[in-house]
């Protein structure tokens, strides 16, 4: 009998890694990114009063330009539509 506990939120856990890969792919598709663009996805604890307990931060690095969005949802709760809406709001902000 195997009673080993597997933490599904542990760094490198298959579900977390798979979800991060999906979010990266959605970001590439939504933004039609070239292969040399770097996409980074991180889930952070939010400690700001009134903020949901988890937020997902997506960074897109292309050459000297870095664009980031913070989505106040855990990675597991994100959808491709969330990614599209978040980056659409960045495109609407003045530089």
pTM: 0.78
Domain boundary assignment for the chain? 14-92
Q: To the nearest 5 percent, what fractions of the chain are helix, strand and coil?
A: 35, 25, 40
What is the CATH number assigned to the segment(s) 14-92?
Answer: 3.30.160
pLDDT tens-place string over residues 34-83:
999 999 999 998 777 887 889 999 999 999 999 999 999 999 999 999 99
Q: 12-16, 56-60, 62-66, 86-90: lowest mean pLDDT where?
A: 12-16
Please report which confidence band the pLDDT of residue 16 belongs to, taking 50, 70 and 90 as the band edges: confident
């Amino acid at each position: 009998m195997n009673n080993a506990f597997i933490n599904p939120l542990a760094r490198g856990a298959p579900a977390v890694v798979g979800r991060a890969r999906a979010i990266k792919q959605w970001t590439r598709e939504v933004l039609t990114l070239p292969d040399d663009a770097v996409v980074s996805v991180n889930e952070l604890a939010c400690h700001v009063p009134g903020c949901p307990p988890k937020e997902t931060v997506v960074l897109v690095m292309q050459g000297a330009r870095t664009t980031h969005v913070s989505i106040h949802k855990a990675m597991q709760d994100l959808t491709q539509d969330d990614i599209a809406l978040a980056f659409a709001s960045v495109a609407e902000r003045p530089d």
